Structure formats: C-alpha cells, structure tokens
Amino acid sequence: MTAYTNTHQPPLVPSVRPEFERDVLDAGVIGDISRPLSLWERLTGNTLARRIFILALLGAAWQLYAMWADNPLMFPTLSETLTTLWTSLVDGQLLQRCLTSLRILLVGYAVGIVAAAVLTMLAVTTRFGNDLLSTLTSMFNPLPAIALLPLALLWFGLGEGSLTFVLVHAVLWPMALNTHSGFMGVSDTLRMAGQNYGLKGLRYVMLILVPAALPSILTGLKIGWAFAWRTLIAAELVFGVSSGAGGIGWFIYENRNQLEIPSVFAGLLMVIIIGLLVESVVFRSIEIYTVRKWGMQR
C-alpha cells in the first residue's frame, strides 16, 4: 500500500539546507585527549611479559603432570630438573659442555654465513652466479646435513672438522636462499633511487640491497641458526665425544646411558634455554633496532 502511494509522489529532490560554520572547541575543554596507560595495559602490551606468562603456564603444566604421573625415571618434575640443572651448572660440567658446543656452532655458523654472502653476491651481480646458486640450493638444500656426517667423518676424521663441515652445510643453503629471495624482492623504485645516487657494484649492494633485503636476511639467519643448533646436537648424539671435550648432545647421551633422567632433561632444557635466549635477545634486538625501527616489519 505504501509502495503504491510512493509512486504517485513527485521525484525525490534533496532539500537545499542553509550553510553554517562553527567554532571548534579548544582541546583543553574536551579533556582526556591522551592519558598515560594503566599498569595492566602496559603489561599486556609488553611482549616480554606475555612471553614470561606463557613460559610460566607451560612450566606449571609440566610440574603438575609430572607430579600426577609420579614416575621420576620416565618423566621428572620441573623442580627436580631445575635442581639438577643448577647443580650441574654450578659444578661447571654442563657449562663446559655448552661452551664446547657453542664454540663449534659459532665457527660453523660464521663460515656458513660468509659462504652464503659470497654466493648471493655472485648471484645478484652475474647471471652465471644466479644459475649456480639456484642449481646448488635445489640440489643441496633438501639434503639433511646429518646424512653427510658418515662421509665427513671419513674425510675430516673424528673431530671438530667434520662437525664444522656439516654445520656449514646446514647453514649455507637456507641462508643463501633467503638472502637471494630478499635481494630479488627489493622494489624497482628503490633500486633506481640507489643507482640515481651514482652507486655501483659492492657499494650498491651493501648500501641499498642489503638493508632493503634485511627482513629476509634476518629470517635466513634465524633459520640457519636453528638448523645449525639441531644439526650439532644430532651429530653429537651420533658420534659423541671428540678428545674428551664432548658437547651438550654428548652430555644428554651419556646421562641417558647412565639412566640419569633428570640430567637428560636438564640437558634438553639447556638446549631450549639457549635457543630462547638467542631468539629473544640477539635476534629480537637486531630486529627492534633495524627492520622494526624502519617500519619494514611490524
């Protein structure tokens, strides 16, 4: 009915309304335009606080489950593991093992990064380098580093040489792959801007491409670090000790053989703690002072 009557009305014409102007209120009158955040708001906004909360939650779950299972041989409680961790840290045994592992790890990591840098520089500057890199990465990236260990032992003997070799293999390919894709992703505008300054060759790569590709390079560094860490522990578990100074993987293996299960857990926890520290201290601060500050990453 209403629809019917509407069709008989004249076509809709917007009415012409009078113009007006207003004075805006002074900010002082409105009041709460910006206020400091409350403690709770600041706490929930803090990444570290949120992470500690998650860790505490996980720890509590561990403790409760272990107490309920009540089987210290299979699954010791968190408190027991922490006590063992503390004592083996204090008597210097575990710390010594950690340092041994970390030293080898850092050498392998550094060599891997340098090799990756050389390969990717070649790849961005020459077409041959580009083809070389993509062929090599597609060949070797899927090959598990640990699978090379038997060969490495044959070539470099039972010692740091073979460990370093498998570490370099573990780091090099993911690192090169990420860095290269980062370089490829640098926008044309930024490239032209760099060339416009008259930059060429290595200066162009270091001053324009590297910072512009830093998010991908950092991802490569992180993945490389994780691969290196995993490979090292696994390698130590496989062939263990070299000349009396075993690493943290050997520590775990040894204690399992002696059924010192809390020590095994302490060793595993140590691996986790080092991983957390490197991720949340080293990589995070690099990110905060670079890519986040520059607005390339949220």
| 212 near other proteins, rule: CB under 8 A | yes
Q: Which stretch binds other proteins (CB under 8 A): 50-58, 69-77, 185-193, 276-284?
A: 185-193
> CB neighbours (10 Å) of residue 283?
15
| 203 near other proteins, rule: CB under 8 A | yes
Residue with Cβ nearer other proteins (18 or 295)? 295
- AA letter at 182: G
Residue with Cβ nearer other proteins (85 or 208)? 208
- Token representation of residue 86: 């503390």
Residue with Cβ nearer other proteins (192 or 238)? 192
Q: Which stretch binds other proteins (CB under 8 A): 65-73, 92-100, 159-167, 205-213?
A: 205-213
| 206 near other proteins, rule: CB under 8 A | no
What Å distances lie between residue 208 and 108, 185, 285, CA to CA? Answer: 28, 12, 22
Sign of CA dihedral 263, 267, 268, 273: positive
The Cα–Cα gap between 143 and 170 comes to 9
| 187 near other proteins, rule: CB under 8 A | yes
> Closest distance between other proteins and the C-beta of residue 187, in Å?
5
| 127 near other proteins, rule: CB under 8 A | no
> Closest distance between other proteins and the C-beta of residue 189, in Å?
4
**Burial letters for 65-82: b for 16+ Cβ neighbours within 10 Å, e otherwise?**
ebeeeeeeeebbbbebbb
> How many residues belong to the site for other proteins (CB under 8 A)?
21
Q: Which stretch binds other proteins (CB under 8 A): 58-66, 164-172, 199-207, 242-250?
A: 199-207
The Cα–Cα gap between 169 and 167 comes to 5
Show contacts with other proteins in window 20-59 (CB under 8 A): none
Gap between the terminal Cα atoms of the chain? 57
Member of 144, 211, 240, 275 binding other proteins (CB under 8 A): 211
| 198 near other proteins, rule: CB under 8 A | yes
What Å distances lie between residue 214 and 58, 92, 208, 297, CA to CA? Answer: 33, 38, 10, 10
For tokens 């077409």, name the residue: 127
User: Could you tell me if residue 225 is left (phi over 0), alpha (psi between -120 and 50 degrees) or otherwise beta?
Assistant: alpha
Member of 117, 199, 234, 245 binding other proteins (CB under 8 A): 199
The Cα–Cα gap between 161 and 149 comes to 11
> Closest distance between other proteins and the C-beta of residue 32, in Å?
24
Residue with Cβ nearer other proteins (190 or 238)? 190
- Token representation of residue 155: 């070539």
Return residues touching other proteins (CB under 8 A): 187, 189-190, 192-193, 195-199, 203, 207-208, 211-212, 214, 290, 293-296
